[in-house]
Amino acid sequence: MKTIGEKLLNKYRSLPNQGIGFFIFAVLLFWLKTYVTYLAEFNLGISNSMQEFLLFINPLSSAVFFLGLAFLAKETRFYRWLIIINFILSFILYANIVYYRFFSDFITLPTLTQTKNFGDLGGSILELLRWYDVFYFLDTAILAVIIFSKRFSLPQVRAGRLKKGVIFSSAILMFSVNLALAEADRPQLLTRTFDRNYIVKYLGVYNYLIYDAIQSMKSSTQRAFANKSDITTVLNHVQATYAEPNPKYFGVAKGKNVIYIHLESLQNFVINYKLHGEEVTPFLNSLTRDPNTFYFDNFFHQTGQGKTSDAEFMLENSLYGLPQGAVFTTKGQNTYHAAPAILRQYGYTSAVFHGNYKSFWNRDEIYKSFGFDHFFDASYYSMKDEDVLNYGLKDKPFFRESIPLLETLKEPFYAKFITLSNHFPYPIGEEEATIAPATTGDGSVDRYFQTARYLDESLKEFFDYLKESGLYDRSVIILYGDHYGISENHNKAMSQILGKEITPYEHAQLQRVPLFIHVPGVKGGTIHEFGGQIDLLPTLLHLLGIDTKNYVHFGTDLLSPDHQEMVPFRNGDFVTPTVTSVNGKYYDTKTGEPLEETPEIQRLEQIARTKLDLSDKVVYGDLLRFYTPKGFEPVDPSKYDYNNRGGYNNRESKEGSAQ
């Protein structure tokens, strides 16, 4: 008795265009698989019947075009080419599935340059795999069985110019119709949006790859064609949006040390949150009541694909991360006017402390461009097996082992500590978990509270040292969350945690991260001002008595009366105290109620777009090489060496050099 597959193939074999039947069969399988994947794996925000239709048809043109490339092979190789192309496309689709499960985003070509990071991702990737993932290669397996099985007799394929022309013309026509309908529903789709979700929703994941490749090529040519005149527009903008420092706070921390503590994946909802009747972060909660600490409860991360590295980039430069990939890995050789280099003019020694190896995120190169004197990476720490988990050294041994390194630095110093333990998938040993996990059934969400507690305990230990040593009273201490820890793929579990549905509006509000600024002798308190990571550098410099007017900063002082309470996100969305913009829809920030688009909302959108566009021009064009602020000494990266316990070769630590 013949199988269904044999009947279909025998039918296709009788077609006059030999091999076209098998090609159609492969296209249909691939089209169906891709569409099911869209529905099952990606949250693309479908809001009308046109978008539903486009989501359904957009894989078709890609399937016909790419699988049609098999007709370019010699007759005997057609079927092998078809399988190879199908497998490559399936692998690309699956790679995006795994990437999306954590980042809620799609892979770009620049992210593929971050290969130095891949060796440390093993545990995270395993957490993202599912037993049913074999489905995404099922069509490849079916085609392989048919082609290589002796039970099937496949016809020879002869594809003349006419047949090839019809196939590729059909693919182009399908794409043209797809694009026309997409433009009708979302005008200027390819020119105005920063959001990859839009491109995939309207044009498909494979056409998105072509779009991404074109965007990458465009960005790579911008530096070559940039010139001095390009910086003028940028300078005009940043000077027009400059916020005068608040006289009450300007210079109140002059000459004091600066200690940044990078709180990995910590979102603001955990502050003052109780699980099983216990505070998750009792120490951080206490800082909200500290008389000399400012706590900002409307502070948002603004990271893109660079995540942690984007947060660092904004922190050091008050420039936005890129729409594709990470500045750290793609623009490490650019000219920057970063915090360490600015503070060197005022006698500061700078250092980064990190319990991972220096090549991760290309830090060993870009830190030279920033002007960091010292980089204490994993090679400075014991890295005992029992102290290493997930992405590097656990937070408690990290801070303990950092203390003697910190004590080698000459004051005043600018020091940044990057924590690691509170990182997806949030593994923690039973002996270190001092709070029971949540009970949502989602492992990473349930463990998140345990690793957040561990981070909190490590911070308390470090603060105890700072107080005992006197550094607490001689230092500005800034703690900030770098990016979200729980992506929208875990909204079901988060709805149990927060007791409400996680709508797109609620998800946007969850992008708040903690910000604490301790300033000795200055009365603090809770600040409700809206702001983001882009605003940290000008805020710090004004506290230190350094005016930022001549620097290219896209953020403004959070303590200034002129601070603009507008927080652009990397995808073009934004939030203000009154309006939250998410995927082209608008909500009242206080109530979550939908809003109609108004001229004021359009104005806010234009402001967000202008800031992102101009910042991208600075980074892509390496425009700071054409401009040196008065009194600033440009960085010479060749003077830095983080190998063999080296640092900046013209500066000395307290003991001569960090040993």
The radius of gyration computed from the CA coordinates of the chain, to the nearest angstrom, equals 27
DSSP run (H or E) holding 53: helix 49-68
What letter would DSSP give residue 648? B
Token digits of residue 636:
């010479």
> Measured between alpha carbons, how far is 312 from 341 in angstroms, rounded to an integer?
15
Q: Is the dihedral angle over the CA atoms 116, 122, 123, 124 positive or is it negative?
A: positive
Contacts 24+ apart (CB under 8 A), 109-112: 109/212, 109/213, 109/216, 109/324, 109/325, 110/216, 110/305, 110/322, 110/324, 110/325, 110/326, 110/329, 110/330, 111/305, 111/324, 111/325, 111/326
Contact 635, 335 (CB under 8 A): yes
> Measured between alpha carbons, how far is 347 from 398 in angstroms, rounded to an integer?
27
Question: Residue 387: is it exposed, middle or buried by C-beta count within 10 angstroms (0-12/13-18/19+)?
Answer: middle
Residue 597 amino acid letter: E
Catalytic residue among 34, 140, 193, 308: 308
In DSSP notation, 576-633 reads: -SSEEEETTEEEETTT--EE---HHHHHHHHHHHHHHHHHHHHHHHTGGGG---TT--
Token digits of residue 535:
């605003």
> Measured between alpha carbons, how far is 480 from 264 in angstroms, rounded to an integer?
9
Q: What are the start-end ranges of the E strands in 319-401?
A: 349-354, 374-376, 388-389, 392-393
In DSSP notation, 268-311 reads: GGGTT-EETTEES-HHHHHHTT-TTEEEETTEE----TTTHHHH
Picking from 535, 396, 536, the residue whose alpha carbon sits closest to that of residue 476 is 536
> Measured between alpha carbons, how far is 84 from 88 in angstroms, rounded to an integer?
6
Contact 314, 555 (CB under 8 A): yes
DSSP run (H or E) holding 10: helix 4-13
Contact 46, 584 (CB under 8 A): no
Cα first-last separation, the chain: 79
Token digits of residue 285:
């909660």
Helix (H, G, I), strand (E, B) or coil at 424: coil
Picking from 591, 500, 444, 582, the residue whose alpha carbon sits closest to that of residue 43 is 582
Active site annotation includes 308: yes
SS3 content of the chain, % helix, strand, coil (to 5): 50, 10, 40
> Measured between alpha carbons, how far is 272 from 283 in angstroms, rounded to an integer?
10
Contact 40, 180 (CB under 8 A): no
In DSSP notation, 135-154 reads: GGGHHHHHHHHHHH-TT--P
Active site residues: 308
